[in-house]
């Protein structure tokens, strides 16, 4: 199906809205960072530095200029692809993000596969068996996934499956003795291990990945299964479902070929948003499992008051949600005939 002029007009409108949203997000984050009771200059020079050294670094960072001037300088650098230097590492922020982001993508991708692969069938099953034991069980699982603190689940999971049963690996992406053996090519440890044919590192990395990814997947499963059930209930109450049953179609055909097909576009949006949430919301799991990813980097930057790194991370998170929303909106316009004008 081709995109019409109306579709392109909507996309242009969405793009403008996105640009305004990202600008507002950066503006808000910048000024909040400047009024936080954290001193990045002190983090650089140390508490024992003399006043002259402090003032020199303060001037070099441009903190003596008005806030609007500082923000303008930051935007000018941003337009040239410069996110500034990170206080935590002394490296360009963009380099730090590119270094840590693959670990989070690896974690979130497996989590969304688990959450979608289990959440969608459970949601469909619960809707098809409404008010049955199965339906109540799925709703309890969803409630547990929503209400249970993820850091507590992570600690219990480590204690049970790693410390007690020994089924999975512990903290980190790989055992300490295997760390650094595989040369970094893509940043994705599983892929890098396969590229060099090191199946020992691959299996060890997968062993470390499976528990935190499963716990994050359980969290996304709760959201996906609940939304799937809601969408399916709305479809199963439509007249065309009654017509399909009167025609003698099997229950499997009614549910999967008629009702489920009508919610696919809606589910794409739900899964996309869930994936974006996993990419930026894995902070607690990464902290519990000492996972060297995006969330851990953002947390360390916040604790240090490194606003260059924080704003870089905020921009990345904003771009992720913007791109996922644009993608889902495009899919809506392409596959849903109701969006035609």
d(CA 280, CA 270): 16
Mean pLDDT of each 10-residue bin along the chain, 341 residues long: 62 75 78 69 72 79 78 80 78 89 91 93 90 89 84 88 86 85 88 90 92 90 91 87 81 84 85 83 82 86 79 81 75 61 47
pLDDT, residue 276, reads 83
Q: Closest Cα to residue 230, out of 339, 325, 333, 135?
A: 135
Q: Which of 129, 331, 309 lies closest to 233, judged by CA?
A: 129
pLDDT of res. 341: 47
pLDDT of the residue at 287: 85
What pLDDT does residue 15 have? 73
* C-beta neighbour count of 173 within 10 angstroms: 23
In this prediction, residue 306 carries a pLDDT of: 78
Question: At a CB cut-off of 8 Å and minimum separation 6, what does 136 contact?
Answer: none
pTM of the entire predicted model: 0.81
Handedness of CA 251, 252, 257, 259 (dihedral sign): positive
Burial of 92 (C-beta count, 10 Å sphere; 0-12/13-18/19+): middle
- Per-residue confidence (pLDDT) for residue 109, from 0 to 100: 92
């Amino acid at each position: 199906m081709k995109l019409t002029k109306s579709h392109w007009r909507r996309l242009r409108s969405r793009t403008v809205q996105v640009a305004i949203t990202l600008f507002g997000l950066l503006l808000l984050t910048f000024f909040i960072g400047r009024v936080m009771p954290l001193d990045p200059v002190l983090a650089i020079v140390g508490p024992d530095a003399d006043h002259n050294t402090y003032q020199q670094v303060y001037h070099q960072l441009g903190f003596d200029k008005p806030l609007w001037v500082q923000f303008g300088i930051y935007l000018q650098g941003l337009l040239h692809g410069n996110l500034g230097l990170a206080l935590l590492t002394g490296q360009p922020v963009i380099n730090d993000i590119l270094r840590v982001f693959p670990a989070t993508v690896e974690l979130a991708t497996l989590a969304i596969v688990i959450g979608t692969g289990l959440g969608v069938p459970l949601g469909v099953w619960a809707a098809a068996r409404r008010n049955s034991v199965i339906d109540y069980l799925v709703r309890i699982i969803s409630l547990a996934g929503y209400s249970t603190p993820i850091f507590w689940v992570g600690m219990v999971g480590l204690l049970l499956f790693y410390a007690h049963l020994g089924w999975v690996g512990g903290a980190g992406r790989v055992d300490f003795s295997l760390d650094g053996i595989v040369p970094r090519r893509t940043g994705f440890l599983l892929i890098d291990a396969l590229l060099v044919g090191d199946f020992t590192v691959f299996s060890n990395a997968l062993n470390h990945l499976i528990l935190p990814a499963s716990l994050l997947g359980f969290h996304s499963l709760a959201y996906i299964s609940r939304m799937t059930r809601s969408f399916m209930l709305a479809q199963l109450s439509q007249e065309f479902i009654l017509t399909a049953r009167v025609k003698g179609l099997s229950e499997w055909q009614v549910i999967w070929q008629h009702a489920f097909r009508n919610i696919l576009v809606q589910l794409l949006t739900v899964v996309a948003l869930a994936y974006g949430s996993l990419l930026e919301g894995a902070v607690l799991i990464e902290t519990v499992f000492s996972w060297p990813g995006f969330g851990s980097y953002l947390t360390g930057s916040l604790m240090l008051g490194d606003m260059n790194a924080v704003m870089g991370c905020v921009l990345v998170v904003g771009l992720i949600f913007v791109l996922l929303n644009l993608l889902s909106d495009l899919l809506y316009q392409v596959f849903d005939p109701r969006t035609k004008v």
